[in-house]
Amino acid sequence: MKIEEIMSDDITCINLDERLSAVRELFIEHKFHYLMVTDKNNKLVAVISERDYFKATNSNLELPTANSKDLAMLNKRVHQIVSKKLVAIKQFSSFNEAIKLFHDAEVSCLPVVNGDNEPVGILSWRDVINWLYSRVHSPKPRN
């Protein structure tokens, strides 16, 4: 089985030079946990997770007591907080390759890229679990 059969192609990309305020708006607007970070040529260079965002900003941002220092954190650029170690998988890779990469890299998602290193999807551990669950709980053929 190939990973494109279970990956999500509903991804949102953000440029390396965008501000964290844009990241915040995207996480509020959409119900996902990862943003694909691209350069000016639409090449994948990183992934930013909700966890990355929350580590880089202050939890006071959503409170009425947020001060100018708290709000200034939103002016940071995406490239200032993302990990430089990108772990991604090619579009037509096998399910076994994805499982091995999840295990070896200890990541919770795998951005899926085409041959030009452009993001085309994302495979999360939840996608894998949901696929496994569907296999376990699918009706068994009768003999």
79-100: per-residue pLDDT in tens?
A: 998 877 899 999 999 999 999 9
Domains of the chain: 3-136 (3.10.580.10)
Rg (CA), the chain: 18
Sheet architecture: strand order including 119-124: 89-90, 109-113, 119-124
Query: Among positive and negative, which fits the CA dihedral 24, 30, 33, 39?
Result: negative
The confidence score (pLDDT) of residue 140 equals 65
Question: 129 with 13: CB under 8 angstroms?
Answer: no
45-62 tens-digit pLDDT: 999 988 888 888 766 666
Q: Cα dihedral angle (112, 116, 117, 120), rounded to 10 degrees?
A: -30
Where the chain has pLDDT below 50, the residues are none
The confidence score (pLDDT) of residue 85 equals 86
